[in-house]
Amino acid sequence: MQAQVQLKWSDLQKDDNILQNYDQQPKLAYLEENVKKVNKVRFIIGSSQTLKVMIGICDKKIRQQRGMIFQDKSFVGHGTYLLYSVNSYNSFLFSHWDLEVNYNEGGFVMKKDDQIEVSFNLDNRILKITDVNKTERSVEFQTEHHNMEDLHLCVVIIDGDVQFYQ
């Protein structure tokens, strides 16, 4: 069983358990502890009606080298595996390696007050993002080719806020 730790994010943390950004520019926040120390987090999607948020996992080393670049469907190697929910009407998936999945519609839309769990299985290296109250709403990513020390649960917020807890 994983010990409870105080969750500390790299950026966007406005108080003990809220991440927010309202300036329409994508901002990345990753857990300071890697997935070997914290491999599960729950989020409550925030109060904003115009929510643009990505939730998943990132390779911190690659993200720091490349910055916030998501050009088009053919651009892989960006170091992220994300579910991107746009304004409660559309969702996309980002995959570091899988060109068939990367920047394509898929997953599920996250809406105000949804409870979302992000978990990483250390043994089979699978990231799973699930709606806690509607478990059929779920997406999985295989995340090979990464050093486990560099993988961190992460959030990219373009417009909105999320509450987090373990």
Range(s) of the domain holding residue 121: 13-165
pTM above 0.95, yes or no: no
Residue 25 covered by a domain = yes
Give the per-residue pLDDT at 67.
63
* Burial (Cβ within 10 Å: 0-12, 13-18, ≥19) of residue 69: exposed
Give the per-residue pLDDT at 70.
54
Residue 1 covered by a domain = no
Q: Mean pLDDT throughout 90-115?
A: 83
Condensed to tens digits (0 to 9), the pLDDT of residues 124-152 reads 999 999 999 999 999 999 887 789 999 99
Q: Mean pLDDT throughout 91-108?
A: 79
What CATH number is attached to the domain comprising 86? 2.60.120.920
Residue 113 covered by a domain = yes
Beta partners for residue 118, in sequence order: 41, 129
Question: How confident is residue 3, by pLDDT bands cut at 50, 70 and 90?
Answer: very low
